Structure 1
Amino acid sequence: MIRILPDQLINQIAAGEVVERPAAVVKELIENSLDAGARRIDIELEQGGIGLIRVRDDGAGIPKNELPLAFQRHATSKIASLGDLERIASLGFRGEALPSILSVSRMRLTSRTAQDAHAWMLGGEGKLDSAAPVPAAHPPGTGVEVRDLFFNTPARRKFLKTESTEFRYAQQAVERIALSHFEVAFSLKHNQRRVLDLAAADREATRQARIEAICGGEFVAQSQQLDASRLGMRLYGWIGLPSFARSQPDLQFFYVNGRFVRDRLAAFALRRAFADVMHSTHHPAYVLYLEIDPTLVDVNVHPQKTEVRFREAARVHDLLFGAVHQALRGLRPDPVRHHRVVLDAAVPAPPQPALPYALDVRVKPEIPHLAEPSAAYVEPVVSPTPAGMADEPPLGHALAQLHGVYILAQNRHGLVLVDAHAAHERVLYERMKRQLDGGGIPAQALLIPQTLTLHEDEADALEARRAALYRCGIEIDRTGPTTVCVRAVPPLLGGDDVAGLIRGLVRDDERHQVAQHFNEVIEAQYRVLADVACKAAIKANRRLTLAEMDALLRDMEATALSGQCNHGRPTWVQVGLRELDRLFLRGR
């Protein structure tokens, strides 16, 4: 039998979408406060928000005659037409939050406008006790008290986590909103203990303080500000430096017109921008804000309004990827920040001279090439201290090579340690990318072509990439169902470990068999170049002259993204004089 559901059950069903846990209630109430023009919002929680959620603000308040309407479903002051829905500037707009929250809690709302002599209160348990507001004491603004969440829906309450976990979710909800509304002061208490006290941040210094309070001092120290505009859109905020890569995506804040969202397009574009400087198992950190015409974004695609849909997704992707990618490519070594880097858009494009360490290893009889590292101690070659330090380059001058792996250099700040292979790998990779963008990598024919036996599907994958590989300087032919013949490779590789390179490309294909995405062909070619650079870079136990070491340091200073190798590992670190003094107890 078909029947119309009672209002309370309708609201409880809606609550299942809007009120997932205490954090969702906190989010909805704070957003209402912000839409009311609040400049200070105080949040108090007990038992992770399950026992009590209290949110007070100094906003415009709700007139007495409108209080009952506030608890009606789909009653809102924020939109009135389809045109308003298509140009939403407020955080809330559906008019479902208050009736949904009331349906699963003991709730009381008290509000006072600036014109009223006193406040008015309305509330109930699961439903309104009365349709008529009663007088109450409250300063101008609104206070909402929510107790015993899900008291009348015990099955829902069983799905809640522990008190500490629920509070962590609620705190995250407050922090996400606080990062997008610097002009508003926030305070948060849990079980009578103050957890957050964020003053209004109307200056750059106070905004940095809020970022530090929420994201931590290390993020502030290892981040760079970004501000880019394109095609009527603006992207600004902070990006963590590659050295601040995270094992979890726990410091990723992305906002669209002031609203925190989780967007797959944005996440993909930003991760792709960091791909050249970050290991695939790590995650970038960022606090970024996208300003876009409201008519070009649909925020009405998720019950909790945490997802959006862009009407011109390609333009948004290009802005996010392009702005962050360009910012990262402007990073250059800065010894003051150790192996971290600073944005320097004014640095000229790096030159491409033929350097001693870039020669093919087969024509380096004066420098023997050892493919495998040795455990034996290698006596370092030491140079005299540079006479003048005033105009020295950032990474200083080479002093010695340690164990055939590390370059030791001296600059005015102390000691610089460089992983020669990782640094050379980045230099070669960036050089080949420029060659690829300029028309392609030259190929060098192998004296004796090499034939490899693969699985048939692997041979199919390589054959499908034959044209892309050719642009990267790798020429292959399919000679049988399971055989591939390699006829030419980039000159840098010099014929070394051709089989290892090709098998690595096959494994790379397996790792990257994902959905089609922007510039897939170019990125696939870059992955090939990264493998070539890794194979061709300086190997462990190859003895370098001081001139070769200095040449590598200079090339690092002129190369984009030189702080990390192609796999995201750091290429160099700075050990300051104070750290060295502490090691030897100097000054004590």
Structure 2
Amino acid sequence: MSIKILPPQLANQIAAGEVVERPASVIKELVENSLDAGATRVDIEIDKGGSKLIKIQDNGSGIPKEQLNLALSRHATSKLATLDDLDAILSFGFRGEALASISSVSRLTLTSRTAEQAEAWQAYAEGSDMAVKVIPAAHPVGSTVEAVDLFFNTPARRRFLKSDKTEFTHIDEWLKRIALVRRDIHFMLKHNGKMVRHYRPAKNEQQYLQRLAQISGKQFAEQALAVDCEHNGLQLTGYIQSPYFEANSSDTQYFYVNGRLVRDRLVNHAVRQAFAQQLEGIQVGYVLMLNLDPHQVDVNVHPAKHEVRFHESRYVHDFILQALQSALSQAEQLPLTSEEGCLAVGDDAQVDEGYGTQAIKPSLNELSVRHDRGNGALSWSAPTIQSGVRERASVAYAGDYSNRGGRADSYRGPELPSQAALNNYAQLMTTPNLRCHEDKPVDAKAMPAVLAGKFWVITEADELRLIPFSMVADEVARSQISSKLSSGLVGQPLLMPVSIKVDDDWQETIAQRELLIRKLGIELTIRLGQLIIKKVPPYLRQSQLANVIPEFLQWIRFEEPADEAITNWLVAQSRASFSSAVILWTEFCQLSESQQQHIISESKVLPWQNWLGEQTSE
């Protein structure tokens, strides 16, 4: 049997098998093209569940006449030009297969007009012959795509379509997914001539909560927790089911990465693990959006683009897990009062003198807890999403979305969390402090010159000194560990638990030193002859745990080390990595004056006077 190149018609129909599974797939591809074209309104019209007619009209930028024919060709796209573009994809489409695949299994008409053109043009293609005709037409700026008689030339695939009701359900579900993440778009859906869905653009959070109520139900929208957490280039926003949610379960489960809905195993594991303790055995609801640098995620790993691959998967997993766990745990704490000095109130705040010691309750329906980089504390403020804080971690009760500007008494969320809960959340999501002594902000320009990427060059009186980064990193770690060790370190879950063949003495050692191990934030279990490491403090994250933990167990087997010895050990383990020079400098400024002077006194003095003397004698 000889090898032959497939004819274009056959190749297009094979590609259509991956792109066009059912009418909902066609709508997905066409609407995503509209969004990539900058449309702010998308009207969808279908007949008989989409098998008879699919019509998508948008007000996007349109397609020039000379490119209409090319738009229906395979591997033709305006969204990629070079291989480098594939590493940073922000558009929905990028493969250039959708229109060609759809036109190969339907009678497709593409009508479009750009703002520069005086008239619109229409391209028509029917079935596998792919012959494209371009004629003048009347149309406003934007595009309209009609796909008639889907799978008319592939009867076998047409027979696999379900009933009109089932196919419409798939279309309706997909529209819900895109409407939740693209709050700025006006969507309208008609079925058999009747309007069945109308999602108006949400210009503020109240309007978005109305859209959330349309899609996920009024009860979920009223009682959901709003999450807004940002840390080191990762931002997680959205809403999660409250532990006080009256229903036992919710079918609202949507997770987006850079605006793209995904069903990724890593993401699903992080979300399930976060809800495991608070809502065990319940199918929880959530609408979450993760945004990160497009260079840090690969979206070209699945034919339908449902899965993604993160370059730093463990970091992304732990970020999602800790953000959600902290948000859920805060919802179960006791309220704050004004005496604790943690309630930040806007101009609309009201004072209810009948509530304890003159507690302050914001009149807005959203209450958020904000991470302040200046002092490492968290404070309540309103609103959440529009606070504009660059480095923040917030959780808010959505409240009654239908109440616009009502009294504070109408707020129906549960009690505010305690200061202890806020401090714990700050410890989990803390970032380096950006203040020096006497609460003076650090100017990044004031950082000394860096030498060889390892030292700062500073002047102290008439001395020229080199301060090693490693020395500062050790002192910063020692200061942080010492302040936290008495109350216990916070363990961070590992994405993949480390398993080691168990030693005969470890079971007894773990039992004897259980309090010490728990105090360090380490979680260990023994099962089937294996020691499984589940959690470790952040100071051990970069260590070779398969070696470090056995050595640690051997150390504590015969003695219980003092806090100072434990601190020195953790400092030694954390030397493998430290922050950037800028962040490390802010941490240096955060140390006490005595600690700073100790570091300076231990630094290396350069004999610059001798150098100048030698140069003078020459």
Q: With structure 2 as the length reference, what TM-score do the two structures score?
A: 0.56
Matching residue of 2:27 = 26
Matching residue of 2:461 = none
Alignment RMSD, CA only? Answer: 3.7
Matched, 1:293 2:258: no
Comparing both chains, which one has the higher relative contact order based on Cα–Cα distances under 8 Å and sequence gaps of 6 or more? Answer: 1
Matching residue of 1:11 = 12
Q: 1:67 to 1:470 in 2, by over 3 A?
A: farther
1:107-126 matches, cutoff 5 A? 107-126=108-127
In structure 1, how many angstroms separate the alpha carbons of the residues matched to 2:262 and 2:94? 16
In structure 2, how many angstroms separate the alpha carbons of the residues matched to 1:260 and 1:27? 11
Matching residue of 1:391 = 356
Q: Secondary structure at the match of 1:179?
A: helix
In structure 2, how many angstroms separate the alpha carbons of the residues matched to 1:519 and 1:249? 30
Shift, 1:242, TM fit: 2.2
1:302 corresponds to which letter in structure 2?
H
Structure 1: unaligned runs, 5 residues or longer:
335-341, 350-387, 395-412, 414-433, 441-459, 474-504, 523-588
In structure 2, how many angstroms separate the alpha carbons of the residues matched to 1:461 and 1:103? 64
Shift, 1:170, TM fit: 0.7
Q: Secondary structure at the match of 1:111?
A: strand
Q: Secondary structure at the match of 1:143?
A: strand
Q: Secondary structure at the match of 2:5?
A: coil
Matching residue of 1:311 = 311
Post-superposition Cα deviations, 1:525-572, rounded to whole Å, max 9, x if no partner, equal xxxxxxxxxxxxxxxxxxxxxxxxxxxxxxxxxxxxxxxxxxxxxxxx
Q: 1:129 to 1:332 in 2, by over 3 A?
A: closer
1:221 corresponds to which letter in structure 2?
E
Shift, 1:321, TM fit: 0.6
Post-superposition Cα deviations, 1:195-252, rounded to whole Å, max 9, x if no partner, equal 2111111112111111111111111111011111112111111111124387767211
Q: Which runs of 4+ in 1 moved over 4 A?
A: 245-249, 342-349, 434-437, 460-473
Q: Secondary structure at the match of 1:519?
A: strand
Q: Secondary structure at the match of 1:145?
A: strand
Matched, 1:519 2:569: no
Q: 1:520 to 1:24 in 2, by over 3 A?
A: farther
Q: 1:195 to 1:333 in 2, by over 3 A?
A: farther
Matching residue of 1:40 = 41
Q: Secondary structure at the match of 1:244?
A: coil
Q: Secondary structure at the match of 1:150?
A: coil
Structure 2: unaligned runs, 5 residues or longer:
343-352, 360-408, 410-483, 491-501, 516-524, 539-618
Q: Secondary structure at the match of 1:3?
A: coil
In structure 1, how many angstroms separate the alpha carbons of the residues matched to 2:506 and 2:50? 56
Matched, 1:257 2:258: yes
Equivalenced residue count is 385
Matching residue of 2:218 = 217
Shift, 1:55, TM fit: 0.6
Q: Secondary structure at the match of 1:80?
A: coil
In structure 1, how many angstroms separate the alpha carbons of the residues matched to 2:536 and 2:151? 48
Post-superposition Cα deviations, 1:463-509, rounded to whole Å, max 9, x if no partner, equal 98666566657xxxxxxxxxxxxxxxxxxxxxxxxxxxxxxx99xx8
Q: 1:274 to 1:190 in 2, by over 3 A?
A: same
Q: Secondary structure at the match of 2:69?
A: helix
Q: 1:438 aligns with which of 458, 482, 488?
A: 488
Q: 1:84 to 1:346 in 2, by over 3 A?
A: farther
Shift, 1:343, TM fit: 11
Q: 1:274 to 1:137 in 2, by over 3 A?
A: same
Q: 1:255 to 1:471 in 2, by over 3 A?
A: farther
Q: 1:347 to 1:89 in 2, by over 3 A?
A: farther
- State whether residues 10 and 128 of structure 2, in contact with CA within 8 Å, keep that contact through their aligned partners in structure 1: no
- State whether residues 13 and 128 of structure 2, in contact with CA within 8 Å, keep that contact through their aligned partners in structure 1: no
Matching residue of 1:73 = 74
- State whether residues 125 and 133 of structure 2, in contact with CA within 8 Å, keep that contact through their aligned partners in structure 1: no
Q: 1:139 to 1:390 in 2, by over 3 A?
A: closer
Q: Percent identity?
A: 47
Post-superposition Cα deviations, 1:42-92, rounded to whole Å, max 9, x if no partner, equal 001111111111110000000010011111111100010111110111111
Q: Secondary structure at the match of 1:234?
A: strand
Matching residue of 2:175 = 174
In structure 1, how many angstroms separate the alpha carbons of the residues matched to 2:291 and 2:102? 31
Q: 1:347 to 1:321 in 2, by over 3 A?
A: farther
Q: 1:469 to 1:4 in 2, by over 3 A?
A: farther
Shift, 1:160, TM fit: 2.1
In structure 2, how many angstroms separate the alpha carbons of the residues matched to 1:56 and 1:76? 19
1:47 corresponds to which letter in structure 2?
K
Shift, 1:137, TM fit: 1.6
Q: Secondary structure at the match of 1:12?
A: helix
